[in-house]
Amino acid sequence: MLLTVLGCSGSLPSADSPASGYLVEADGFRLLLDLGNGVLGALQRHGDPFGLDALVLSHLHPDHCADFSALTVLRRYHPDPPYDTRARRLPVYAPSEAATRLAAAYAPSEAERGETDLSDVYEFHRLTPGTVHIGPFELTVEQVAHPCEAFGFRLTTDGRTLAYTGDSGPCEALRKLAESADLLLAEACWPHEPEAHPPDLHLSGLEAGQLAAVAGVRRLVVTHVPPWADRQQMATEARSAFPGEVDLAFPGATYQVG
């Protein structure tokens, strides 16, 4: 399993990185986790975006799905696509309101009302807690602690496991997803100041490290650090709680999982 970081900036793109987007590949199958601002451009540096086999959206905040409208333009209006995108719709695994909310983001005006049904080029699947098979991957889904409907994931194939927190405050669901994972991709949005931040929203660097330690993961990759936060502080906090390998995600970084 190969993980490629397309974007890792939290809350909005930074000068150096798109927002959240992660390409996961195994056995020739290409799955994209999240599609935040700027991710579609980065994806094109790593292959043809028509080569995606599935898209999984952790939640519907813009920094995790804003480029969906651009992907829709590509799939509907490219003059010479490599295949019929209406006959081969892209599977999209997403929260319950994805089909209507992403359609509204794409065509919000009354004049474009006829274009708001995106089912011509996408096949929407509602995420619920449990396990689903997508290509070679077993995807385990858990709802996590965030203000909107949001999910974290555990991807397993060939005995290798990648866990992804999405956006979440500390919760038992994250520990279950991360248990003994080969690689944990964990957000860290702010320094550890519990009194200064609202609950059930994001992890601190320390909390990302604590999660990695209690779950017994092999490797931690810290991601989703906002442009106004100190990336090195997030990594330092994580390392203070987790004795294993800790990396800071950056665009273009690749990781062999397992």
Structure tokens at 184: 């944990």
- What are the domain boundaries of the chain? 2-256
As a whole number, mean pLDDT of residues 106-110 equals 77
CA dihedral 197, 198, 200, 202 (to 10 degrees): -30
pLDDT digits (tens, 9 = 90+) for 130-145: 999 999 999 999 999 9
Q: Percent of the chain at pLDDT above 70? A: 98
Give residue 114's pLDDT band: very low, low, confident or very high (50, 70, 90): low
- H/E run at residue 210: helix 205-215
Q: What is the pLDDT of the chain when averaged over all its residues?
A: 96
Residues 6 or more apart whose CB falls under 8 angstroms from that of 28 comprise: none
pLDDT at 183: 98
| Per-residue confidence (pLDDT) for residue 226, from 0 to 100 | 98
Say yes or no to pLDDT of 90 above 90.
yes
Q: In the prediction, which pLDDT does 197 show?
A: 87
Averaged pLDDT for residues 220-240: 98
Mean pLDDT, residues 23-36 taken together:
98
pLDDT given at position 115: 61
The residue ranking higher by pLDDT, 58 or 112, is 58
Q: What band does 56 get if pLDDT is binned at 50, 70 and 90?
A: very high
- DSSP E strands: which ranges in the chain? 2-7, 21-26, 29-33, 54-56, 90-94, 122-126, 130-134, 137-143, 151-157, 160-164, 183-187, 219-223, 245-248, 254-256
Question: Can you tell me the mean pLDDT for 157-167?
Answer: 98
Q: pTM here?
A: 0.97
Q: What's the average model confidence in pLDDT over 21-42?
A: 98
Q: What is the pLDDT of residue 196?
A: 82
* pLDDT value at residue 111: 62
pLDDT tens by residue, 173-222: 999 999 999 999 999 999 999 888 888 999 999 999 999 999 999 999 99
* pLDDT for 110 beyond 70: no
Q: Distance (Å, rounded) from C-alpha 11 to C-alpha 82?
A: 34
Q: What is the CATH number of domain 2-256?
A: 3.60.15.10
